[in-house]
Amino acid sequence: GIQVEQSPPDLILQEGANSTLRCNFSDSVNNLQWFHQNPWGQLINLFYIPSGTKQNGRLSATTVATERYSLLYISSSQTTDSGVYFCAVEQGSGSRLTFGEGTQLTVNP
């Protein structure tokens, strides 16, 4: 099956810093989503981004489908950004998501 690799596995930042999280996948995909799992365990949808670039406030994402990677940018990080960031891909249309192992982000005040 498809492999999804996220890097770095862990990231510690000071409040106000910027960061880039990466997601590589081993085959062509129909859909790619970024999620934030907060410290209470809830999964928050960040982006639905099979290709191109999207921005939402301090967060933006870019997916280059032909090169099989996606990037999540977090600018001016805040302590509330702490948690695990997951990338997930879907190969068929309307089928299962395959998740990466996540990036654990800690933002210190």
Partner 1 sequence: NAGVMQNPRHLVRRRGQEARLRCSPMKGHSHVYWYRQLPEEGLKFMVYLQKENIIDESGMPKERFSAEFPKEGPSILRIQQVVRGDSAAYFCASSANRGSISEQYFGPGTRLTVT
Binding site for partner 1 (CB under 8 A): 30-31, 33, 35, 41-43, 45, 48, 86, 88, 90, 93-102
> Which one, 79 or 95, has the nearer CB to partner 1?
95
The minimum distance between CB 14 and partner 1, in angstroms, equals 25
- Minimum CB–partner distance for residue 98 and partner 1 (Å): 7
SS3 for 13?
strand
Residues contacting residue 41 through CB under 8 Å, at least 6 positions apart: none
Burial of 1 (0-12, 13-18, 19+ CB in 10 A): exposed
- Whole-number minimum distance, CB 26 to partner 1, in Å? 15
Of 92, 78, 76, whose CA–CA distance to 27 is shortest? 92
Least CB distance to partner 1 at residue 10 (A):
12
Q: Considering beta carbons, is residue 45 or 66 the nearer one to partner 1?
A: 45
Residue 39 or 94 having the CB closest to partner 1 = 94
Residue 101 has, within 13 A of its CA and on its CB side, a CA count of 7
**Quick one: 1 or 109, whose CB is closer to partner 1?**
1
Tell me if 109 sits within 8 A of 96, measured CB to CB.
Answer: no
